Structure 1
């Protein structure tokens, strides 16, 4: 298994219930594919460095996990099709 870190930015208009369900959804994708979530750090609402989709703020979530190489691909696929995700990044920490 490899160590990964992902950060994603949610739209600031999303209510707290939907934020938590999206975080649980992404944690579930990792665990269902044989991975292990080691840390979830919700940074909260912060000002963006530049405007994204006409928004100046976003809700930041940082997640560390251990998984096989196929899990980041599945996670990225889900980030792309999920409404409310402004940006995301997945980094391999083993390099």
Structure 2
């Protein structure tokens, strides 16, 4: 049976206290992780933005949007890694139609 691929997008909000180097390190880490387990379509760094509400006493976050195609089991693993990575304030993974 062939594995079915699904299109996803994921948005990350990284803590700006990481500094430019720390942010780029995390962006590269997740970019490589996605490339290793999926087909990365695009990376869109929105940069530093004001948050709608404070998260962890922070008012700003660094936003990154990834679009990728993978088998359905990968997003759960990606979400697990987001949750255990210091510096990731919020993340969301959405399956696209």
Bin of the TM-score, shorter chain as denominator length: over 0.9
TM norm structure 2: 0.91
Shift of 1:31: 2.1
Q: What is the 5 A alignment of 1:1-95? A: 1-33=5-37, 35-94=38-97
Structure of larger gyration radius: 2
Structure 2 gap segments, 5+ residues each: none
Aligned structure 1 segments of 4 or more residues deviating by more than 6 angstroms: none
* RMSD over equivalenced CA pairs, Å: 0.9
Question: For 1:27-48, what per-residue CA distance to the aligned partner results, in whole angstroms no more than 9, with x for missing partners?
Answer: 2222222x11111000011100
Q: Does the Cα contact within 8 Å between 2:16 and 2:23 map onto a contact in 1?
A: no
Task: Count the aligned residue pairs.
Answer: 93
Q: Give the TM-score taking structure 1 as reference length.
A: 0.93
